[in-house]
Structure formats: C-alpha cells, structure tokens
Amino acid sequence: MTCAVMYGLVIPGLLLYLILKQHRALELSRRFAGLAEREGDLVKVRVEPLWREVPESAEDQESSKHLMAAAAAHCVLFSGPVRLQLQKSHVILQSVESKREQDNAVLDVTSATLAVAFGSTRDADMRRCQSMTRMLTERCVLEEVAHSDRVLAGAKELLFKYAMIRDVWFEVAMKLVAVILVAVASTESGLKLTLCFTLVTAIAVGTLQPYRQRQVNDLQCFCFICSLACPRADCRAMF
C-alpha cells in the first residue's frame, strides 16, 4: 500500500511540480524559431521571434542562445568539418572540404523514385535540425537557471535523460504503469490485463522514442517485449 501511494501519488505529484518549473524556465526560449536558407555551398541560419512582447535586452539574449543552437544543429547537413561565420543577425555555415571532395560525394539522381526518397531525407534532416535546436537551447537555458534554482539543479540528470525536456511527463506515465501492473496482477484477469498494459507500453516507448539515447529507448522496449515472452512469470516479482 505504501509503495502504491508513493508511486501513484507522491512521486507523480513531485514530477508534475518539476514539469511546471521547467516549463516556466523555458517559456521565453520557446518564443523563437530557427530558419535556414541555402545559397550555393553556404547555409545561412537566423532566428526570428514568434511574438514580440519582452524587453529587447532579454529578447536579444535569448535569441543569441537560440541562434548558436540552431547553427550547431544545422551542421549535421554537412558531411565533414564546417566553418562558422558569425554575422550581426545570422550565422553562415560552410564546408571546409574542397570542391573536388564535395563533387565526389554528389550522386547523380536520375530516377524519380530516388528523387522522392532524397526529398523525404531532406524533410527528415529538417525535422532533426529543429529537434536538435530545441534540445540544445533547452540545455543551455537550464544550465544557467540551475545556478539559482536548487530544484532544477538537482533534476538536471533526470531532465537531460530525455530528447526533449517536455517529455519528462513520460516519467510520470512509467510510474503509473508500474502501479497499474502491480494492481492488476492479483486480479482474476491479471494475466490478460498485464499482457495488454505491457504491450501498450512497449509500443508507446518504441513509437515515441522519448529518451535522448537511442540505446535506452531500445532497451526499455526490449524489456517490455521480453516480459510478454514470459506470461507465466509472477508480474509482481518485477517490482
């Protein structure tokens, strides 16, 4: 009973409080969007505010963080070392490889099917750059806020475990899943319910990929799938 109260009420309540604190700390940094434009061999990255209602000094400080994060994230578009040139309102990215080396890496796409495939790859690169920009910006802001906030300072390891800090809600969900599995294991339909909750959790982890490290996502999903392969095991023994 004590474990159920801790996992079902106390720990989720504390995690919800942490979610609110990190949301307030990152609220200002989420008001900017990184934009990239390719001009020949160069990529220009700039940052635009989504809404202007804060003092210019605070806005400039936050935009500079977002700009550097966006520049670092867009470096994944290049296959080798990249040179960064910081301008007044944007950053210019340029590959340091020679023109000949770049030409050798270019593929002659003549098939329409391949063209579509490469187009989807560009879309995936764009989404990856956006995700990396958000992740780097959030980490930069939290590192600064942690010096004056003990709660966020102590929760950095937990928050940085996720690809996006907003995904820390998954920690609450996992605690509730643990309570549910223990509760349904002793019922008449305990086996069926346990298998259902385990399968749903494995699918959720495999689909959402909430953790920063891919190995952690695969390990979590693999563990739940392994528990499906042992239906006769006592589910309460896992907890």
Q: Please answer whether residues 91 and 85 qualify as being in contact, where contact means their C-beta atoms are separated by less than 8 angstroms.
A: yes
pLDDT at 233 over 70: no
7 falls within a domain? no
**Do 61 and 150 fall into the same domain?**
yes
Phi-psi region of 95 (alpha: psi -120 to 50; beta: other; left: phi over 0): beta
For 161, which DSSP code?
T
Q: What is the mean pLDDT of residues 84-109?
A: 66
Residues pairing with 45 in the sheet? 36, 91
Bridge partners (DSSP) of residue 211 are: 162
User: Given this model, what pLDDT does residue 57 score?
Assistant: 60
Confirm whether 1 is domain-assigned: no
**Is 162 within the bounds of a domain?**
no
pLDDT (0 to 100) of residue 236: 47
Question: 156, 181, 210 — which closes off a domain?
Answer: 156
Q: Is there a single domain that holds both residue 145 and residue 194?
A: no
Do residue 82 and residue 138 come from a single domain?
yes
pLDDT, greater one: 61 or 35:
35
- The model's pLDDT over 100-155, given as tens digits with 9 standing for 90+, comes to 454 444 444 444 444 444 455 667 777 888 888 888 888 888 888 888 888 888 88
The whole-number pLDDT of residue 235 equals 46
Domain that holds residue 136: 28-156
Considering the domain architecture, whether residues 123 and 68 belong to the same structural domain is answered as yes
Please report the pLDDT score of residue 77 as a whole number: 79
In this prediction, residue 9 has a pLDDT band, given cuts at 50, 70 and 90, of: confident
Residue 83: pLDDT band (50, 70, 90) is confident
Q: Between these two residues, 53 and 82, which has the higher pLDDT value?
A: 82
Position 103 in a domain: yes
pLDDT higher than threshold 50 for residue 191: yes
pLDDT in tens, 175-185: 888 888 888 87
pLDDT band at 50 (very low <50, low <70, confident <90, very high): confident
User: Which residue, of 128, 156, 184, is where some domain finishes?
Assistant: 156
* 139 and 179, same domain (yes or no): no
Q: Tell me, yes or no, whether 60 and 149 share the same domain.
A: yes
Same-domain pairing of 144 and 177: no
Instruction: For residue 151, give Cα distances in angstroms to 117, 135, 158, 178, 198.
Output: 46, 20, 11, 25, 32
Percent with pLDDT over 90 in the chain: 0
Number of separate domains in the chain = 2
> Is the residue at 91 inside a domain?
yes
**99: pLDDT confidence band, cut at 50, 70 and 90?**
low
Tokens of 129: 């750059």
> What are the φ/ψ torsions at residue 217 (nearest 5 degrees)?
-60, -45
Strands (E) across 40-128 are located at 42-49, 82-86, 90-95
To the nearest whole number, what is the mean pLDDT of the chain? 78
Closest CA to 49 of 39, 61, 37: 61
Question: In angstroms, rounded to a whole number, what is the distance separating the alpha carbons of residues 93 and 194?
Answer: 52
- Domain assignment of residue 97, yes or no: yes
Q: What's the confidence (pLDDT) of residue 124? A: 75
Domain boundary residue among 156, 182, 198? 156
Distances (CA, A) of 58 to 49, 65, 152: 12, 11, 21
